[in-house]
């Protein structure tokens, strides 16, 4: 008997385009094609190197692509620079770069193997607005060309909020912002307040994501108000081991 199950790697493009529309962006055929290529390369490379536990096409669309695009509602309208710390297989940075060619996206990833995947994606998708850096945030944040230069810093599933603040706020210009993606009730903001304020930031707001599949998600916005002291971030590993204020 013959079962026709469709192309193994095809992703639900209707879910993707409807979700994106709800988040305020119309995906062009070119962008949809880029997401399809991204998904199939993710699935193929994931068999060789550990990139993600999420491999079901529907889940790739919801938990990787749309979850990344949920940040769109908070990003500046015009050209802006964004740094994605601990991007892994490119989330949230690559989906944002696909739909916003006017964003200059810097992807930071400590693991070289994952960075090779990011380079393959950048080439396959022709993403000229993406820069890939293989290093630790603790080291990079002390480089003058990167320190306090970005409009926005993000980092998904990298660390608890106090640690994430130390890995992201040093990169952000005054009046720029950090946006952290967290599950509702997963962390208390209070536990990170000392860290945020020590690093020159202030907790601004928390917003929900207007998609049923992402009903538990919250976007936490931290605004940069004053320069970060030169001693931050501390040495590699210290922000995670000993979060400020904890
Ligand atoms: N943001 C991706 C990956 C999360 S896993 C996603 O949401 O799917 C966390 C990633 O951050 C890992 O790939 C790890 O190598 C990287 N990472 C952790 N600490 C880091 C640091 N200090 N500097 C740079 N990358 C880091």
Pocket test for ligand 1, best of 59, 64, 85, 86 (most atoms within 8 A of CB): 86
Between 132 and 185, the more confident residue is 132
CA pair distance 234, 55, nearest whole angstrom: 35
* Structure-token match 């949809």, residue found: 32
| Residue 84, ligand 1, Cβ within 6 A | no
DSSP assignment letter at 27: P
Q: Which of 213, 25, 18, 36 is nearest to 101 (CA)?
A: 25
Of all atoms in ligand 1, which is nearest to the CA of residue 167?
22
Q: What is the mean pLDDT of the chain?
A: 95
**pLDDT score, position 10:** 87
Q: Is the pLDDT of residue 8 over 60?
A: no
Q: Which of 184, 133, 181, 192 has its CA nearest to residue 157? A: 181
pLDDT digits 0-9 by tens, 131-174: 999 999 999 999 999 999 999 999 999 999 999 999 999 999 99
- Per-residue confidence (pLDDT) for residue 6, from 0 to 100: 47
**Does position 207 have pLDDT exceeding 60, yes or no?**
yes
Strand pairing class (217-224; 172-183): antiparallel
- DSSP character for 87? -
Residue at token pair 């590699």: 236
State the distance from the centre of ligand 1 to the C-alpha of 114, rounded, in angstroms.
Answer: 10
Query: Rounded to an integer, what distance in angstroms lies between the CA atom of residue 130 and that of residue 79?
Result: 13
Q: Specify the pTM.
A: 0.96
Residue 110 CA from chain centroid, whole number: 14
Q: Give the pLDDT confidence score for residue 9 in this predicted structure.
A: 55
For residue 111, name the pLDDT band (cuts at 50, 70, 90): very high
**β-strand 103-109 against 80-85: which pairing, if any?**
parallel
């Amino acid at each position: 008997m013959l079962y026709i199950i469709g192309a193994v790697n095809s992703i639900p493009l209707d879910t993707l385009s409807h979700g994106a529309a709800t988040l305020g962006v119309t995906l062009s055929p070119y962008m949809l094609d880029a997401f399809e290529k991204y998904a199939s390369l993710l699935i193929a490379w994931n068999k060789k190197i550990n990139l993600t536990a999420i491999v079901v096409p529907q889940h790739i669309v919801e938990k990787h692509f749309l979850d990344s695009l949920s940040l769109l509602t908070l990003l500046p309208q015009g050209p802006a620079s964004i740094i994605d710390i601990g991007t892994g297989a490119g989330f949230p940075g690559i989906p944002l770069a696909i739909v916003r060619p006017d964003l200059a996206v810097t992807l930071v990833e400590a693991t070289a193997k994952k960075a090779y995947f990011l380079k393959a994606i950048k080439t396959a998708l022709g993403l000229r607005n993406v820069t890939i850096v293989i290093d630790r945030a603790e080291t990079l944040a002390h480089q003058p060309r990167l320190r306090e230069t970005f409009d926005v810093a993000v980092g998904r599933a990298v660390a608890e909020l106090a640690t994430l603040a130390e890995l992201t706020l040093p990169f952000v210009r005054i009046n720029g912002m950090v946006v952290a993606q967290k599950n509702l009730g997963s962390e208390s903001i209070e536990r990170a307040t000392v860290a945020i304020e020590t690093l020159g930031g202030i907790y601004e707001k928390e917003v929900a994501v207007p998609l049923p599949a992402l009903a538990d998600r919250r976007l936490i916005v931290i605004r940069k108000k004053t320069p970060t002291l030169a001693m931050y971030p501390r040495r590699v590993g210290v922000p995670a081991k000993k979060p400020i204020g904890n």
